[in-house]
Structure 1
Amino acid sequence: MATRLLQRVNAKQTALFVCDLQEKFRNNIKYFPEIVQVTKRLIQASTALDIPIIATEQYPKGLGHLVPELGIKELNIPVYAKNCFSMCANDIMTDLEKRQVHEIILCGIEAHVCIYQTCLDLLNRGYVVHVVADACSSRSMTDRIVALKTLQQAGAFLTTSESMILGLVGGSDHPKFKEVQKIIMESAPDTGLLAHL
């Protein structure tokens, strides 16, 4: 399959997917605190720009709930429980269709399982998918890096959190630019990608 031509993200038709950043994974996922911190920046920017946010929990009965640092409860972000790996459950996809979303910003864990399967499902349904590399991880760096490279080959756009956040505002003339600029004033933490990409 040919890689899609690069294109700018369109904030008016975009949603943020936050995948399975749950308590049970805290001590097993590479760079987990940093991934959470970067994801929180994406959540803050999306909230400021009125971009819909959808979050999932994989088998919450056994794996716990999303980590509180994300601020999901305080922001009243809808959280969907799931047992399948992909986030593309019927109720989530119905929600997207109602909002006329055509592009997805994807972050969370694990890169080679739930992120991977969600991304492929979204691509197969015709969505443009932006995988935020510094906001996705796995238990092993090998799985993480191979998954990111494979998803890029499949047609997803690999990006970074800061590039995505600034892409959503498009320029300093955006009315919310100063608010969003504060979110990224301090550089995102190192999530271990430099030696692998």
Structure 2
Amino acid sequence: MIRREDTGLLVIDIQGRLAQIVHESEQMLANTANLINGARLLQLPVLWLEQNPERLGSTTASLAELLAPAEPITKYTFDACKEPSFVEAVRRTKVSTWLVCGVETHICVYQTVMHLKKLGYDVELVCDCVSSRTLFNKQLAMEKMAARGIGMTSVEMCLYELVVDCRAGEFRDLLKIVR
């Protein structure tokens, strides 16, 4: 079970035209907005990445607005853990578990998730907040990650897990997000 006090959210490369052409992009973007809103409500540390923004464009405006005032971490490697500023930002959060969402599931998400695990972090892939240009590549990446010990979750599942109790002060606001 994930715990609020040691969990953070990582948003990977939901940017430019790519965010619009991945499989079921509208639903993935809506789910990701709910996840970010839930993470903010629960005061989780949130990090976000942009892959080569000069070429791929900025984070989708609706998500960037939710992620502000923080700034994205720019990367050029597919595996974000090869970017020293990202690894330092991860370490500064002092969390041990990362909820991960983003695109593309089989490239940047997969490589970053596997490296985070290698660095000793627990990782939960938020499956309804990841996508690839093809469903096949998304499914293949999810199967491969699951086989290698990466947890699988959904927006609702992880947010309810984090809030724990229907008497929690944030619960009513959380309901507004997930419904």
Superposed pair shares fold, TM > 0.5: yes
d(CA) in 1 for partners of 2:168, 2:86: 30
d(CA) in 2 for partners of 1:26, 1:20: 8
d(CA) in 2 for partners of 1:44, 1:173: 19
Q: Counterpart of 1:133 in structure 2: which amino acid?
A: C
d(CA) in 2 for partners of 1:36, 1:175: 27
Query: Are residue 25 (structure 1) and residue 12 (structure 2) matched?
Result: no
Partner of residue 126, structure 2 = 132
Partner of residue 67, structure 1 = 60
How far is 1:33 from its partner? Answer: 1.4
Q: What is the Cα-based RMSD across aligned positions, in Å?
A: 1.3
What secondary structure does 2:48 align onto? strand
Query: Are residue 96 (structure 1) and residue 61 (structure 2) matched?
Result: no
Out of 168, 176, 179, the residue aligned to residue 174 of structure 1 is 168
What secondary structure does 1:23 align onto? coil
Superposition pairs for residues 1-197 of structure 1, below 5 Å?
Answer: 8-72=1-65, 75-88=68-81, 89-185=83-179
How far is 1:74 from its partner? Answer: 6.4
How far is 1:182 from its partner? Answer: 0.9
Higher helix residue share: 2
Provide the TM-score with structure 1 as the length reference. Answer: 0.86
Q: 1:57 to 1:128 in 2, by over 3 A?
A: same
Task: Indicate conservation of the 8 Å contact 2:103/2:131, yes or no.
Answer: yes
Q: Which structure 1 residue ranges, 4+ long, deviate > 4 Å from structure 2?
A: none
Task: Indicate conservation of the 8 Å contact 1:13/1:100, yes or no.
Answer: yes
Range with greater deviation from structure 2 (103-112 or 74-83): 74-83
Q: 1:132 to 1:73 in 2, by over 3 A?
A: closer
Q: Counterpart of 1:50 in structure 2: which amino acid?
A: Q
How far is 1:71 from its partner? Answer: 4.1
Task: Indicate conservation of the 8 Å contact 2:20/2:26, yes or no.
Answer: no
d(CA) in 2 for partners of 1:32, 1:95: 28
Q: Counterpart of 2:42 in structure 1: which amino acid?
A: L
Provide the TM-score with structure 2 as the length reference. Answer: 0.94
Task: Indicate conservation of the 8 Å contact 1:53/1:78, yes or no.
Answer: no
Unaligned runs of 5+ in 2: none
What secondary structure does 1:76 align onto? coil
What secondary structure does 2:80 align onto? coil
What secondary structure does 2:17 align onto? helix
How far is 1:164 from its partner? Answer: 0.8
